[in-house]
Amino acid sequence: MYKPNPVPKVAAIHDLSGFGRSSLTTVIPILSTMGIQTCPVPTAILSTHTSEFKKYHFIDLTDELTAYIEHWKSLSLEFDAIYSGFLGSARQVGIVKKFINDFRKENQIVVVDPVLGDDGTTYETITADLVEQMGHLVSAADVITPNATEAALLLGEPADLPDEEFSTVLIKDWLKRLAALGPEVVIITSIPVPDQPKLSSVVAYDRQSGRFWQVQCTYIPAYFPGTGDIFTSVMTGSLLHGNSLPIALDRSVQFVTQAIRASFGHDYPRREGVLLESVLDNLRAPIINTSYELF
């Protein structure tokens, strides 16, 4: 008998930052709006995220995770996707790898967003040990979504390369080397487009088909924290809905661009993140124009 799956489930391994729209406070509304249930595994609790806020309260939940996950194991829970992001310590990498091992099943997507830094530097709580360990976690994933800084850190390349260095040859080399670590699909966000300061791109490599995809978008000169979490959440939701890789990329880029555009014209502290609540309903709209291409 055909057994429909009315609402897919995602185990979301991220921190809960109480203020500033990042991690779980973006993952949950996005996946819910896309008709997907989020089951959080909180890696840390913070009063705010760590970009442009100082003296935030940071509660590392490393020592709580094993008992939390053991209870889920005893319930024989099953997930259509496992999606990890910001981790509270290097030691959590082993715990998340074990989670992936224990909850692996047929017909499932494992997405790892190796949250480490942006704009050429690491976030404040990210240690050299965590950077190194994150390399082991990406090996256990099907899909990874580093930004350009995180891709460089994972590959041991300089994280502060000037924009003009991002040639097609370099980007394809990075994508292939990251795929060689294990994931079938590698996506790198926030790639500068040489000689086109008004453009930014998201690139992807699908190891099985050997195809490279890119979606270009207008670069908006404003940094909002949490946009990486928003991108990967839409990506995860789209892949769960059966969208092709380039359509999922396109939806995610379009949604982040809409969110930034909805926010940029308003005058408020950027550290509060994009005005996600204003654009969430766009996730229910059909994709009309796509701009993805092979490269």
Decide: is 123 part of the binding site for ligand PXL (CB under 6 A): yes
User: CB under 6 A: which stretch of 70-78, 212-220, 225-233, 277-285 binds ligand PXL?
Assistant: 225-233
Cβ–Cβ < 8 Å for 245, 210? no
Decide: is 42 part of the binding site for ligand PXL (CB under 6 A): no
Pick between residue 18 and residue 197 the one whose CB is nearest to ligand PXL: 18
- Site map (CB under 6 A) of ligand PXL, residues 11-30, x = contact: ----x-x----xx-------
Decide: is 46 part of the binding site for ligand PXL (CB under 6 A): yes
Q: How far is the CB of 189 from ligand PXL (least distance, A)?
A: 12
Cα gap 282→25, rounded to integer Å = 18
Cβ–Cβ < 8 Å for 273, 26? yes
Q: For residue 86, give every residue at least 6 positions away whose Cβ sits within 8 Å of its Cβ, in sequence order, or none.
A: 14, 15, 22, 23, 43, 44, 115
Which of 79, 83, 86, 213 forms a contact with ligand PXL (CB under 6 A)?
86
Decide: is 223 part of the binding site for ligand PXL (CB under 6 A): no
Q: How far is the CB of 154 from ligand PXL (least distance, A)?
A: 16
Decide: is 225 part of the binding site for ligand PXL (CB under 6 A): yes
Which of 229, 235, 251, 279 forms a contact with ligand PXL (CB under 6 A)?
229
46 beta partners:
17, 58
Cα gap 76→8, rounded to integer Å = 16
Q: How far is the CB of 71 from ligand PXL (least distance, A)?
A: 24
Decide: is 228 part of the binding site for ligand PXL (CB under 6 A): yes
Q: How far is the CB of 290 from ligand PXL (least distance, A)?
A: 26
Q: Is residue 58 helix, strand or coil?
A: strand
Decide: is 214 part of the binding site for ligand PXL (CB under 6 A): no
Where on the chain is the footprint of ligand PXL (CB under 6 A)?
Answer: 15, 17, 22-23, 46, 49-51, 86, 115, 123, 225-226, 228-229
